[in-house]
Structure 1
């Protein structure tokens, strides 16, 4: 049988996998919130695009799915 010697952990080691995952999660959250804002802002409580209905019609079904009133 063989035995393995235990390698002591280095003090102050940084787990880069956790830090990288946190960055991806925060980035994905920011992108998701920007998309949610873009879908919800047009023809909702106010409109960024004036009387142009192209964006409204493009995301029309998404607005209903997310619970935004649009009519």
Structure 2
């Protein structure tokens, strides 16, 4: 017998009384959504705009690190 399907009162299967989804308040999701959005914007910058001539960092290290990803995503490179 499956212990997860049996109740403590005689071994009968227990069905939940309410199958409605639990609402998640927006105030709990909003900070995570903003954080993930900022991370995505930073990633798009480094993949799409960090090209050497207009770069924040000197050299072409970041450009070469994301070079193949740029081509796969369709960003012009050379």
* Same structural fold, with TM-score higher than 0.5 when normalized by the shorter chain: yes
Distance 2:41 2:56 in 1: 19
SS at match of 1:38: helix
Structure 1 stretches (4+) deviating beyond 4 angstroms? none
Structure 2 residues without counterparts, runs of 5 or longer: 1-22
Query: Who is 1:41 aligned against?
Result: 49
Query: How well do the aligned residues superpose, as a CA RMSD in angstroms?
Result: 2.6
Distance 1:36 1:21 in 2: 22
Residue-by-residue CA offset, 1:24-69 (whole Å, 9 max, x unaligned): 112111110111012211227x521587221111001111122211
Size of the aligned set, in residue pairs, is: 56
Structure 1 residues without counterparts, runs of 5 or longer: 1-14
TM (norm. structure 1) is 0.59
Query: Who is 2:29 aligned against?
Result: 21
Distance 1:49 1:32 in 2: 17
TM (norm. structure 2) is 0.55
